[in-house]
Amino acid sequence: MAVNTIIEQYYSAGAGLHDAVKTLRTNIWFSAMDQEIKTIVVTSVNPHEGKSTLAVFLGIAMAESGQHTLLMECDCRRPMLQNYLKMQPDHDLVDVLRRRISAREAVTSTPVERLDLLSSVVLASPVEVLASNRFNGILEEFKQQYDVILLDTPPLGSFIEAAILASRADGTLLVLQSGSTEVAAAQAVVAQLEKAKARVLGCVLNNVNMTSQQYYYADYYKDGRKRKDGGEKGKEKRPPTRKPEK
């Protein structure tokens, strides 16, 4: 069976997922009453907690609401966005860093209107690159061109990049895996983000069982307010469309 792109997964997932992602999008706008939120870092404590998936889903929802949105691959240790989107862009972040082409030329349109991708290859020194003035300049350039920039990052429990980016971004989302992310580890990551003076917009609790419908993705709550349905953990149906990663 052909493996669908993550975009196809989103559109075939049904209203439950769409509602959850749109609620997240709305809550981000609500949290931004007094300050524009243009650059959003998506991170988590551990690998495989759903950062890249959430970044794409939120990107689709943002683009659908009329926002010109850029998905920026900043997990330069394990860049997955282009694989998930099944795209083979002609250019990537390295081409821009080396000034081979402009930032504008390096992005590729996705099948979703108003949603673009800047991909990356694996970098030998991701921390140095993402902390550099050159990278910062590129981000500033994109800020002139896009309404929203979603930065997908490596897990902050193991690598520092997300904190570096979060210190410059307008907001940060922390993805937590229902039933598996350890509370102490999550608290340590939040402390790290606070040390970086990041603005933590909230947490996305992934892999929550939403029994009444075939919800696939996220539940969102902020400031410790729990979701309403109190769903049971660990019994949700995984989407059949993509093999788990190695």
Ligand X SMILES: Nc1ncnc2c1ncn2[C@@H]1O[C@H](COP(=O)(O)OP(=O)(O)O)[C@@H](O)[C@H]1O
Q: Which stretch binds Mg ion (CB under 5 A): 5-13, 47-55, 134-142, 196-204?
A: 47-55
The verdict on 38 binding Mg ion (CB under 5 A) reads no
Q: 113 in helix, strand or coil?
A: coil
**Minimum distance, C-beta of residue 75 to Mg ion, in the bound complex (Å):** 5
- The nearer residue to ligand X, 68 or 242, going by C-beta atoms, is 242
Q: 143 in helix, strand or coil?
A: helix
Q: Which does residue 38 touch among Mg ion, ligand X, none (CB within 5 to 8 A, set by kind)?
A: none
**Minimum distance, C-beta of residue 30 to ligand X, in the bound complex (Å):** 23
* Cβ-based neighbours of 78, under 8 Å, separated by 6 or more: 47, 122, 154
- Radius of gyration from C-alpha coordinates of the chain: 17
Binding site for ligand X (CB under 6 A): 44, 47-53, 80, 206-207, 216-217, 238-239, 242, 244-245
Q: Which stretch binds Mg ion (CB under 5 A): 23-31, 58-66, 80-88, 90-98?
A: 80-88
Residue 73 phi/psi, 5-degree rounding, is -75, 105
- The nearer residue to Mg ion, 44 or 144, going by C-beta atoms, is 44
- The nearer residue to Mg ion, 34 or 245, going by C-beta atoms, is 245
Q: Which does residue 244 touch among Mg ion, ligand X, none (CB within 5 to 8 A, set by kind)?
A: ligand X
The residue count for the chain: 246
Cβ atoms of 41 and 196 within 8 Å: the answer is no
The verdict on 39 binding Mg ion (CB under 5 A) reads no
Among 18, 51, 168, 199, binds Mg ion (CB under 5 A): 51
**Minimum distance, C-beta of residue 179 to ligand X, in the bound complex (Å):** 12
The C-alpha atoms of residue 103 and residue 99 are separated, in whole angstroms, by: 9
Pairing between strand 148-152 and 171-177? unpaired
The C-alpha atoms of residue 199 and residue 207 are separated, in whole angstroms, by: 24
Closest alpha carbon to 141 in 166, 89, 182, 104: 104
Q: Which residues bind Mg ion (CB under 5 A)?
A: 51-52, 80
